[in-house]
Chain A
Amino acid sequence: MKRINAFYFIKEGLKNTFTQGFMGIASIAILLSCLVIIGIFLLTTENIDLNLQNIEEQDEIVAFVDEILTIEEAQDLKYVIDAVPHVKESIFVSNTEALHTFEDQLEGAEDIMAELESDNPLRHSFRIFVDDIEDSTAVADAVKMIPGIIKVRHNEFVTNNIISLRNVFSIAAFAFFIILLALSVFIIYNTIRLATVARRKEINIMKFVGATNWFIRWPFVIEGLIIGLVAASLAYFCSWYLYTYFVDNVFEGINIVKLLDFNVISGRLALIFYGVGIIVGVAGSAFAMRKYLRV
């Protein structure tokens, strides 16, 4: 692109965006709406994912050690457990520690505790955490086979439900995102096409005077770029305002739900907004006018 033309294209692109009245505003408003919906959806999915992760992190396998093993022999089992594939971490809990935990839960039952301390019936155990919740059943089965482990406690029902929920949610989230994206491309394409129809006479004249296709296309592409940038900036501001409003006013005091700070996701959100905005704006413009270049 020559320098003289670059200035002309930018000037024309700016002029077209802001002087064509309703069409320019309509394009920005429609893209803005789509981006805000995508933004709200992403913020919601990120927060649901965060809360699912918290539930996942609480999922643990408890392996009980045979009481015939000494405490040293029991502790040595940690090396065997840690070597099981997908084990992230294992924590040894001696029967004394287990009794103290039990004691904390039985406040006011000093008599029973005194009796239990003299003859501790609890076993040494390991709390085992896995890399991914989907591997927890396989890990529990493998740990069960280790000599010296006599029992494994693992809540398979809860685990399976979390896995199902997460998988269903991931697929639904991805599908919804694609549908929204396709919908916004379709709407923007048609809005820009309407704007292009209004200027087909100008395009036609340019073709007859000897303009190359790219000379005609550039101002429209720049117009699409401006529409994309403006819509993305407004969408980012709207998402920030709506999200912080909900976090501060609607979810305030509800501790059961963990919410992401906007700053944690702001970079990714901006990237998606500007990426989608620019691609949809530029591609929409370029495709919408293709028909009128065939003169």
Chain B
Amino acid sequence: MVLFNNVTKTYANGTKALEDVSFRIDQGEFVFIIGASGAGKTTITKLITRQEAFDSGEVVVNKYRLKTLRNSQIPYLRRTVGVVFQDFRLIDNKTVYENVAFAMRIVNAPAKEIRARVPHVLSLVGLTHKAKAYPTQLSGGEQQRVAIARAIINSPSILIADEPTGNVDPNMSREIMDLFQAINDRGTTIIVVTHELSLVKRMNKRVIQLDGGKLLYDKVGGGLL
């Protein structure tokens, strides 16, 4: 669950990124956040993962109230939120298997569990045959699927994807959206930040539209886009 209640965020340089924004995303929802550059989309993802603090209002992510969250608690919040970036952010000197297993080691998972879970998730994203490959040997779409596998390996309740299709071709974009749908079908909340309106229309999900840091639109379906 993600709750934004009258949230305002101003950056140090004076830019007002969010102004009095309120919305609630319940467990199991699939939501797109859209808007032009500088609308405040990425700021929302930064607030959810507590990369940034906000000025006023209230943000609750799962059981964590972010206003009073201690720094030592941030890693535990992030374990409940998987993140997928446009630039994949994979470790080049680790294989596909190691990139995914690495996220389980961080939460101190036993080796036996890692050996069982990583192949399962790799098969879910269709990369079993690439387990021993290095990121530089993969296409953009494949790299993004490794990033998705890493993001869901610890079974987070929320998956946030920031422009996940920005670096892949249209066919692969559709495949990635289908993958998100499959993950969503298993109960994970999906939040996708994107500017690709064709994908948003095709998926026909709830859309939160921002403009100049303000909430412009929050409805199911892409009718008003």
Contacts and interface: CB of A to CB of B under 8 A. Distances in A.
Interface of A: 2, 4-5, 8, 201-202, 204-213, 215, 295
Interface in B70-111: 72, 75-79, 83, 89-91, 102-103, 105-108, 110-111
Given A4-B110, A5-B108, A204-B89, 5 more contacts: A201-B89, A202-B91, A205-B91, A208-B49, A208-B83
A4 B111 CA distance: 9
A211 B78 CA distance: 9
B108 A210 contact: no
A19 to B, nearest CB: 8
B106 A2 contact: no
Closest 8 CB pairs of A and B: A210-B79, A210-B78, A211-B106, A209-B103, A212-B75, A210-B75, A208-B83, A205-B89
A156 B89 CA distance: 76
Given A209-B150, A210-B79, A215 B106 contact: yes
B91 A201 contact: yes
Interface in B161-212: none
Contacts of B83: 208
B49 A209 contact: no
Contact of B107 (A208, A210, A295): A210
A210 B89 contact: no
Contacts of B102: 209
A210 B91 contact: no
Nearest to A213: B75
Contact of A206 (B106, B110, B154): B106
Nearest to B99: A205
A140 B98 CA distance: 79
Interface residues of B, number: 22
A126 B77 CA distance: 83
Nearest to A205: B89
A206 B75 CA distance: 10
Contacts of B89: 201, 204-205, 208
A201 B107 CA distance: 19
30 contacts: A2-B108, A4-B108, A4-B110, A4-B111, A5-B108, A8-B105, A201-B89, A202-B91, A204-B89, A205-B89, A205-B90, A205-B91, A206-B106, A207-B75, A207-B78, A208-B49, A208-B78, A209-B78, A209-B103, A209-B106, A210-B75, A210-B76, A210-B77, A210-B106, A210-B107, A210-B154, A211-B75, A211-B106, A212-B75, A215-B106
B191 to A, nearest CB: 15
B180 to A, nearest CB: 18
B54 to A, nearest CB: 17
B51 interface: yes
Contacts of A205: 89-91
A206 to B, nearest CB: 6
Interface string B16-47: 00000000000000000000000000000000
B97 to A, nearest CB: 15
Nearest to B85: A208
A202 B51 CA distance: 16
Nearest to B151: A209
Contacts of B110: 4
A211 B150 CA distance: 13
Contacts of A295: 51
A276 to B, nearest CB: 32
B71 to A, nearest CB: 8
A211 B83 CA distance: 14
A8 B104 CA distance: 12
Contacts of B51: 295
Contacts of B154: 209-210
